[in-house]
Homo-oligomer: A and B are copies of this chain.
Amino acid sequence: MGTVGTGVARVLTEHPDRLARRAGRPLELRRAVVRDLTKPRGIDLPAGVVTNDVAAVVNDPDIDLAVHLVGGVHPAREIMLDLLNAGKDVVTANKALLCACGEELFTRARELGRTIAFEAAVAGGIPIIATVAQSLAANQVTSISAILNGTSNYILTQMARENWDYAQALHQAQQLGFAEADPTLDVDGSDAAQKLILLTWLAFGVRARLEDVHRQGIDRLDLSDLRFAEELGYTVKLLAVARLVNQQIELHVQPTLVRRETPLAQIHGPFNAVGLVGDIVGETWYSGPGAGQMPTASAVVADLIDTVAGRTRINFERLEVWRSPPPFSLQPREKIETRFYLRFQVLDRPRVLADIADILGRNQISIASVIQHEPPESSPESPSGTSAATTVPLVIMTHRSTEGQLRAAEAELARLTAITPPHIRMPVAR
């Protein structure tokens, strides 16, 4: 009973009639497990409900259904196995655990005739698991483009709105509780990649792992990149993409240039959004709060109701998570084809653009547009281009090329002494 667990307990205790009507029978909160019995949680539960002993749940034969809100992989995995082995259905919000051990846990649950529901594991307030697994059942999903990490989206929104640099926006996100003390997994793309993996299993039936996701975080972005993107008509979003291209699945999480007038560009602050394309329905969009106590509790309680009402059993039996033989293979990341935004910090001297253009050209990357502003210090008294120490940003938008071509070009570009590493690169959303 951490943050989300307290939210679930609150819904269970404040709306018993509503839930009983919708589930078909009353849901009784029997035990709430906490680590520290003395910590105040702002909720009054009947005597005997709160315990610090997981075994009090595992070993209670009257408990049919367990809400598993333990973070991380260990001992979360062992606790979930204990719950399943004890004959309990499980509702979880732990994407990291499912991503790492989903196959083992799902298999074990099926052997035991139990179910695992996990709507809350991806984009808390958006019913995206039900949509993919059930509402779009007539379709082969062909594309997922999603903002799945609220922390990153909040930071990017604040940088763009307030003209803050990354560190300043991160600090504010931490102050407001939108970012953890250690924000690594949020800002480096791992959290979004874990959620994307779960959606990829469901939508494409392939056995993808976290290491199959081409991944880049927002932590190296500069405010200037957001400004250049704006100048070009784009907004920068940490975009998670799984797309069916020539019977292969393209998978990546990267800061991405999104056209300003598209729905994803309008998702601000800690919100999540998912764009799903199905071969029958066409393009559909879903958005809502991505995390937080009550939005996640809403998804957990929906799963509780579905499990009690019997829908979860039907869904869980039919989940097409790892079809055999796999219907699609994963696309090698070198083959990912996209337009690229590139920003180099270059010495303000002749021939630099020509050298870069030459290397890109030899690697079959053609240039769509270039932005190079005069350095801010340039003035009639100090003509630009004369001081060897001055570096200026050089932004290049390419036409469609592949990740492999860009990597080959990057290896050559690394030898140009006029470029101060590292450079920044982002794909452009279709």
Contact = CB atoms under 8 A, between A and B. Distances in A.
Contacts of A315: 311
Contact of A294 (B134, B282, B297, B314): B282
A309 interface: yes
Nearest to A10: B280
A305 B300 CA distance: 25
A175 interface: no
Given A22-B320, A287-B263, A134 B311 contact: yes
Contacts of A317: 24
A140 to B, nearest CB: 7
A119 interface: yes
A286 interface: yes
A21 B320 contact: yes
Given A22-B137, A127-B131, A136-B298, A285 B286 contact: yes
A324 to B, nearest CB: 12
A209 interface: no
Nearest to A315: B311
A156 to B, nearest CB: 17
Interface in A1-40: 11, 15, 18-19, 21-24
A5 to B, nearest CB: 14
A310 B302 contact: no
A185 interface: no
A24 B281 contact: no
Contacts of A136: 127, 298, 302
B301 A134 contact: no
A283 B288 contact: yes
B126 A284 contact: yes
A293 to B, nearest CB: 10
Nearest to A280: B298
B288 A285 contact: yes
Contacts of A299: 138, 281
A102 interface: no
A278 interface: yes
A43 to B, nearest CB: 15
Contacts of A217: none
Nearest to A125: B281
A289 interface: yes
A15 to B, nearest CB: 8
B138 A302 contact: yes
A306 interface: yes
A168 interface: no
Contacts of A126: 284
Contacts of A281: 125, 288-289, 294-295, 298-299
A417 interface: no
B314 A310 contact: yes
Contacts of A19: 137-138
A24 B266 CA distance: 39
A99 to B, nearest CB: 22
Contacts of A131: 127, 130, 135
Interface of A: 11, 15, 18-19, 21-24, 119, 125-127, 130-131, 134-140, 261, 263, 266, 278, 280-289, 294-295, 297-302, 305-306, 309-311, 314-315, 317-318, 320
